[in-house]
Amino acid sequence: PNFKRQELPLLYKNDFIEALERFPSHKPVLVDEKRSYFAAEILEKSINLASSLKTKGFQVEDRVVIAAEAGVEFIISIYACMMLKAQVAIIDPEMGRANYEAKLLQFAPKWAIVDNRLLFLREHPILRWCYFKMGDTKPYFPPTPHVQIISTGPSLPILQKTLTFSQLTQKSSRFFWHKAEDYPFLIVHTSGTLDIPKGVLHSL
């Protein structure tokens, strides 16, 4: 079929994405304890995630909170959010659970990229009680009504229905690129020394 440009969804490019495109495809950009990841692979999976979320109804400037382990899934999520022109929040659990939940409520995300271990934890009260006995600053992701969850990390028997990161990154739908102008992209809430922690807003 002949597709008209305006009928296909847009993904957004910026300097970070173009730098990843130019990076030699045979050189690793991330090495962890298991394997090396190459620029072409990260770019492909980021595009797949972004285009898959577009088909799920993702809109420009939708808000996304990321509660995932630092690693390749986190990096792919950041690139995909750039391609979607999302607004992203990362909230430091070291602020304590009450502050974490307050900042999450304030941000009011529509989407959340969450490690499966955190989702598993909130479905098992006894395990959660034991976990919290180890300290108030342990990572935890509270129940979030009306937020679409994208689950990452190790496979676990989660009762809640989620979109699965591994499935969303498998293939891409058709799309067109559009160059993104600078815009407010990332809010980072860190612990610091204030009683009421404030976020730092970063543009591209």
Q: State pLDDT tens for residues 100-128.
A: 899 999 999 999 999 999 999 988 889 88
Q: What is the pLDDT of residue 3?
A: 47
* Distance from C-alpha of 8 to C-alpha of 92, rounded to nearest angstrom: 37
User: Predicted confidence band at 1 (pLDDT cuts at 50, 70, 90)?
Assistant: very low
- pTM here is 0.89
- Tell me which residue of 16, 43, 14, 15 sits closest to 27, measured CA to CA: 43
Q: What is the pLDDT of residue 34?
A: 81
Distance, CA of 59 to chain centre:
15
User: Predicted confidence band at 95 (pLDDT cuts at 50, 70, 90)?
Assistant: confident
Of residues 77 and 193, more confidently modeled? 77
Query: For residue 152, is pLDDT > 80?
Result: yes
* Distance from C-alpha of 64 to C-alpha of 53, rounded to nearest angstrom: 12
Mean pLDDT of 29-57: 92
Query: For residue 39, is pLDDT > 50?
Result: yes
* Distance from C-alpha of 135 to C-alpha of 123, rounded to nearest angstrom: 19
Mean pLDDT of 62-75: 95
C-beta of residue 87 within 8 angstroms of C-beta of residue 64: yes
